[in-house]
Structure 1
Amino acid sequence: MVASLAGLWFLLKIVLFCGIRYGACSQEAPLVLGLRLESPAGLVCMKDRIISAPEGATFKLRLYGTELNGSWPWVAFAGAAGGAAGAVGDAPDPCGQESSRGQSAFQVTGVFTPDEKYSGLITVKVRKRSISAGVGSGKSYYHLCVLSGGKWASSGPDRLRINTDTGLPADYIPPWGLAVLVVLLLLVCGLLRTVNLSLLWLDPVELYVLHSCGSEEEKRAAKRLEPIRRRGNFLACSLLFLSVLGHSVLGVLLYRALGSILSAVFTSGFLIFLLAELVPHILCSGYGFQLAPGLTWLAQVCLVLTFPLSCPLGLILDLALRRDITTCGIRERAMEMIRTSVNDPYSEFVKEEFSRGMLRSKTVEDILTPLKDCFMLPSSVILDFSTMSEIMQSGYNRVPIYEEERSNIVEILYVKDLALVDPDDCTPMTTITKFYNHPLHYVFNDTKLDAMLEEFKKGNSHMAIVQKVNNEGEGDPFYEVLGLVTLEDVIEEIIKSEILDESDGYLDRKVKRPLAPLEISLEPRTVHEEFSLFKPPEGEPKIRTSPQLLLATHRFLSREVSHFSPGRVSEKILFHLLRHPSVNQEVHFDPTNRLSAAHYLYTRNHPVDYFILLLQGRVEVEIGKEGLKFENGAFTYYGVSALTLPSSVHQSPVSTQCQSPRDPFESADGTSPSSYCPDYTVRALTDLQLIRVTRLQYLNALMASRVGQSPDPPEIKILPNSQTKLLNEKNTTQQGGSSAQESSTEEEAHG
């Protein structure tokens, strides 16, 4: 009994030991469920569960399964007998034959490297054909063999096979080919998008406006675009179809190159967004209309390529929608509203539509007049004739006043403040500015133009001083004055044009571009007067006529006396003539001897050769044989005929301004008398201040004016009995040429 129990116990131990041993062995046997080619490169590829690799190649395989940490080696490859490609059940399993595994073209090198729980990597090297030539002919297939339970067997339900042919797949594309195709497709997609945006950006109505009202270049471009733009639906279908086709092909190529769907999707999306959408929008937003004429040929090629598909679709859209899908209905409505309201000059919609963008996108720093170009005066200046004439000549209504340096503006002077100021009083500038005390208006350089316009509309001031906070360098920040901005500057920015008035000397005050000179002289006095000519010059003898009276005399002669009109005597020559000491004269009246010979300016039948303009005082005029007498005062003139040829018909002094004088250079000759005999008498009744111009002075002024206006100065004709140095110079320098003639006439014009 004891012996039988001992034998039973021993039998149980053996069964238990074998069971444990069998369970342990079964748990340690590796089980391969599948494999994948890791990082395909070169000619090694995997398709339809068959890995193709050339001779001599080395690649890595990722194995998937359980219990992959068994004792190595437990993976090998074995060639199928006769190159059979079927399952193991159709032929003997080649993995069980040691010779098949040893002569296999695919040899596992190294050891199995697990990197995850259920997968790991092995390295496989393809041996040369000479070694494995005996294993079938043509295509040789190899099975993956796994050591399980001490036996080698094929792994996998449908037998993974490896092809060692060196021939490439029919759809194989090398990496450099994929890169070239991707770049070309991106360029094509970007070009198609550029064509779409540039050609379809403007609707037919806008093209018609450019064709009718644009510049010559815009008219030519619009003429080229109109024919193809009329086929809007046809063109849109063609370009959209080609763009979508290019995007699809690009995604497939990137998948072939990257081997991952997710990476291919994100990469293609980013490249299409950046190069095929964003860049064309940037180009067409600024240069679309300039690029469009050069891209019409490409649009025509696209129409031809996609004609079978895009033409029927375009016709269907035309018939179904009866409009161009490339135009925006809201945009057409907005344009219609603008056209209907354009007749109303005060339409709030039109003003807001056209001024909002330009006023909100610019600041006062963009339109200000720099401080160095501003007309300014120091506070220490005296308001004499020189200063006031400088202010009047500047043409500005508001003049900034500064102390010490130009950036320190302390006051604003309005020109209307000078209405009651007498230049002879020499009033200090500070007296006027402190009396009126006009407020200063400061703005910062980043102020928008719409805000600046609202400030000007409040009426506080139409001029503002632009300043900014200067943080550069060491020390505390300070306000730096940049320049001035006016309401006129804002209006010019709105209308996109310079506003020129009668006092402007520049066509563009920002760049100091001068006005174009007139080729044909207009009416007299249309040119801005230069008051600086009437300022008393420094270093010259002071004349008896004040600057104000000299200005009035100059204007009177040039406008009222035809002999001194700008068409005969230039304004500058007339000015120099009036300033000559011999022309400005005074007659002192002696009340004790009223009939003194010094009181007579003209005596009847006594020859004279001068013209007189009365500036101050009174005279008595006696006319004709009847001795009719009357009194005259300031700004009456006598002896106009004495300046040209004497006439046989005596003229009264009151009718001289109505005559049409003849050219003295064409009429003077050696037989003409040298003096003029008036038929009236002019006698002083009070102290007189007058202008006395002799015939010689007038003729020299005429000649000097002609020399300044003509490149070929005319020949001077002087009366033969004139005893002057001019006549002597003419007789001695007749052979000298035109240059000497010009210099002599200019000298005599002043004396």
Structure 2
Amino acid sequence: MLSAPAALALLYNVALAVAFPTTTGNLLKHTAEPGDEPDEKIGSEGFFLKLGLSAVLVLLGGAFAGLTIGLMGLDPLHLQVLANAADDPKERANAKVVLKLMRKGKHWVLVTLLLCNVVVNESLPIFLDSAIGGGIAAILISTATIVVFGIIPQAVCARYGLAIGAKSATPVLIVMYILSPIAYPIAKLLDWALGKEGPTTYKKAELKSFLQFHRNSSLGSYTSPTEESPLPLTDEEISILNGVLGLSEKRVTDIMTPMHDVVTLSADQILDHNMVDKILTSGYSRFPVHEPHQPLSFRGFLLVKKLLLYDPSQPKRVGDFRLTILPEAKPNISCFQALDYFQTGRSHLLLISKTPGQSGGALGVVTLEDIIEEIISEEIVDETDVYEDMHTKRRAKRQSTAAIMRGIVERENVKRRMSDSSFAGSTTASQPGTPLAGGAGPFKPGEANEQTRLLSPIAEGSGGSTASTPKASIMANGEDYVNAKGGEPNGNGYGSVRFSESPPKL
């Protein structure tokens, strides 16, 4: 009978052996009762020989157990991605080696490693029992070998499975061919019973979830790109990828501008000076044209660029112009279908109608800009936008942070007379005859001069002017251009500033 401590140790060892069946847990069934003597005397040649063989078997058992976890835990799709597009050349080479091994047959690799592990585990007790005997010593040694040479190799191979698998690919392949008379038929039987593992693919929802995990893991971990650590996906890039993945699932009715918010023209409307001014200042480039007194029956749309050579002193009706065909589509088409049509170049405006080709069914319009906004998952605000979202009527808010303006220079050619006090206050010279900044020649009061000025974001909280700010800077090429004074608002959320030194070339 075993003592209570020995029984507890035995139960603990059995639990470990069940949890880690690829370890040396089978040693327990060969342990003898307390008091058994070893076959070899301690210090003899046979003792060291069997002890050395036991150590080799323990190492092999740990290696086979670790390789089983490491190689079987590698995703074939991930291996293909790494083999084709890994940034690290070593990682790419390792992936190709492991992928070549796994293409021999994943079940063949698995059966080979398990057979080797069984042979090692069954052989180990034969040498270890004859060297140290049974009893408490065997239990303690077996427990230690389970912890050290069972758990640790599996943990290491699970973490560095690709690198270790690539280094061990050739020995594993040799063992596979040696054991092929036994392992290969068993592997084929598993292929028949379980089926071969096919290529792994992801659905759109799974890809979106994967991108969201990437976004969450990247928060607060931004580092500058290096050869060893390339720049990760930015939040904007992830938003664009999500937008593209959802484009075919979103209907055009979700993003269209309703007809009651669309600016239209009647075919019998006279284009006089007043109407042309309204059209040109509206900020729109295309105007749907409907039949007289039929606001939902459209002829086509008018391109504003056709009014460039138009003389309002000889007014014409809108219907007298050559109108562009206004394409119509049903409300159930996807945004991706609308994008495919826009890419043909036939039109960048699409009328959504309940009865395409017939009058009276107009619901709204979709533009190429609406599709792009869905792709980038942000609203595009141009120079004339009043509302950011035609559905929610949110006011357009232009962003003017240094991060967004980095690397961008806006130029404005302005002709003003030096007698203008506002312009004189923005210059660095206060006396006539002082050379202009940037190497320009001297000026005289009342003389018209042309200046190229840079535009930079107005500092937040400055009340729309940079005059109170000692320095107004613009980010270009990642550096601040400073020494700019005398900014003045231009009405678009930016301030016009003139540099006291000529700006560097970009």
Q: Which has the higher contact order (CA 8 A, sep 6+)?
A: 2
TM above 0.5: no
Bin of the TM-score, shorter chain as denominator length: 0.3 to 0.5
Task: Give the TM-score normalised by the residue count of structure 2.
Answer: 0.38
Q: Which has the higher strand share?
A: 1
Which of these two proteins has the greater Rg computed from alpha carbons?
Answer: 1
